[in-house]
Structure formats: C-alpha cells, structure tokens
Amino acid sequence: MNNRFNVSTTPKPTIIVTPFEESHVSATVLCIKKLGIQLKIHSGGHDYEGISYVSSVEFIILDMFNFWSIDVDMKNETSWNLGKSKVHGFPGGVYPTVGVGGHLSGAGYGNMLRKHGLTVDHLIDAKLVDAKGRVLDMKAMGDDLFWAIRGGDGASFGVILAYKIKLVLVPSVVTVFRNEKTMEWQCGKYGKFWMWL
C-alpha cells in the first residue's frame, strides 16, 4: 500500500466483499452494476497508485484473497495459477511485491525472459467474470478478450478468477545475480567509450 493513501481523508469503501466461490463474484458484479456503484478489484501484490482501494466516488472492493488455490497437472505440465515443483518453473516477474495476477495481466518479465519469454507467453486459459456476471473461459470469451487480458490489465475487462499456465522445465538449482555498474565506473575504466551491461 502507498502510505500517501493511508490517511484519515482517504475515501473508504462502502463494503469489502470477500468471495469464496465463483457465484459470489458473479452476484457481486451484477449487484454493483444494478446499484450503479464503482467496483474495485483487489487480489494482492502491490498497488502504488491506489487503483484497487481508492476512488473519488462511492465504491465497493472485491477482495479476491480467498481465491488462492493451485491445481497442478504434472502429466501435461500445466497449472491453474501457480504450482510448486523442483523441476518446473514459470517465467514470472522480477518484482517480489507483484502477485501472479499482476504479472499475468501486466505482461511481466523476469529472469527467464531470454529463454522462455514473458509471463503471458505461457498463459493458455483463464476464467473471468464479465460485466453480465457470466463466468467465461478462453473459448467462451473469444480471442480478442483473451488477448486483452494478457498484458492489458485484466481488471479493465472483468474479474479474473484463475489463470491456466504452461510450466517450463528448469534445473533444480538456479543461480541469479545482478551486476550493476555506475556511469562513473564505466567512463573511468574505458575512457571516452561507453560499455552498456
């Protein structure tokens, strides 16, 4: 949370809904649509702009923290959301405060980028509740909407309940490091020539 929104003058939600089932999400979407109240979706991770918990008009927060589940299919090397395995991985992002949903709906890039691409390159299905309260998978939502939620911020198009991802094989032990150099170091060592790392 951004501390500038953690003050007494920050507008508070009318209610916070914490659904346990898909039908709860559909009912919430239909209810707020009928009432004409703004819906804010919060699923974890960071939100420095306050998009999921601040508004200048009356709003309700739909907090998706109860939808933390993992279903791994080792035979097909796929997972609904993200699974745990010592030899399977997922090219997630480099920011530890961003949740899986943020990396998938924001096209996150990570340390496996060069070999395996972006997070969204491995998204093979999703479940989404649209503005009509319908629960849609990739086939039902169509190519355009499925493409849009893969990097165009999923919450702009509906409430995403789950992602199905294709896992990749990785070594059981991986080392990652960052080597940062200042401009002064580069200039001093190489004279007038620049070396970009």
Burial 173-194 (b: 16+ CB within 10 A, else e): eeeeeeeeeeeeeeeeeeeeee
Quick check: 186 pLDDT over 60? no
Q: What is the pairing mode between strands 78-80 and 123-129?
A: unpaired
Domain end marker among 52, 68, 84: 68
As a whole number of angstroms, the distance between CA 135 and CA 39 comes to 17
34: Cβ–Cβ under 8 A, 6 or more apart, which residues?
A: none
Of residues 3 and 173, more confidence is placed in 173
> Which pTM does this prediction carry?
0.73
Give the tens place of pLDDT for each residue, 12-57. 889 999 999 999 999 999 999 999 999 988 876 666 676 777 788 8
Is 197:167 a contact under the CB 8 Å cutoff? no
CA distances, 73 to each of 77, 122, 127, 133, 153 (Å):
6, 15, 17, 28, 26
As a whole number of angstroms, the distance between CA 180 and CA 14 comes to 46
Residues 59 and 82 placed together within one structural domain of the fold: no
Residues 59 and 86 placed together within one structural domain of the fold: no
| CATH number of the domain within which 52 lies | 3.30.43.10
Residues 173 and 111 placed together within one structural domain of the fold: yes
Amino acid (1-letter code) at residue 73: D
- What is the count of structural domains for the chain? 2
Domain end marker among 36, 68, 100: 68
Residues 78 and 170 placed together within one structural domain of the fold: yes
Query: Three-class SS of residue 146?
Result: helix
Residues 1 and 56 placed together within one structural domain of the fold: yes
Residues 26 and 97 placed together within one structural domain of the fold: no
Domain end marker among 21, 45, 68: 68
As a whole number of angstroms, the distance between CA 197 and CA 187 comes to 13
| CATH number of the domain within which 101 lies | 3.30.465.10
Residues 56 and 96 placed together within one structural domain of the fold: no
Amino acid (1-letter code) at residue 161: L
Look up the domain containing 2 and give its range: 1-68
The structure tokens listed for 173 are 């032990």
Element (H, E) at 176: none
Give the tens place of pLDDT for each residue, 76-119. 888 876 556 677 777 777 776 777 777 777 777 777 778 888 88
Q: DSSP assignment of 71-102, as one string? A: EEETTTTEEES----SSEE----S-TTS-HHH
Residues 49 and 129 placed together within one structural domain of the fold: no
Residues 141 and 195 placed together within one structural domain of the fold: yes
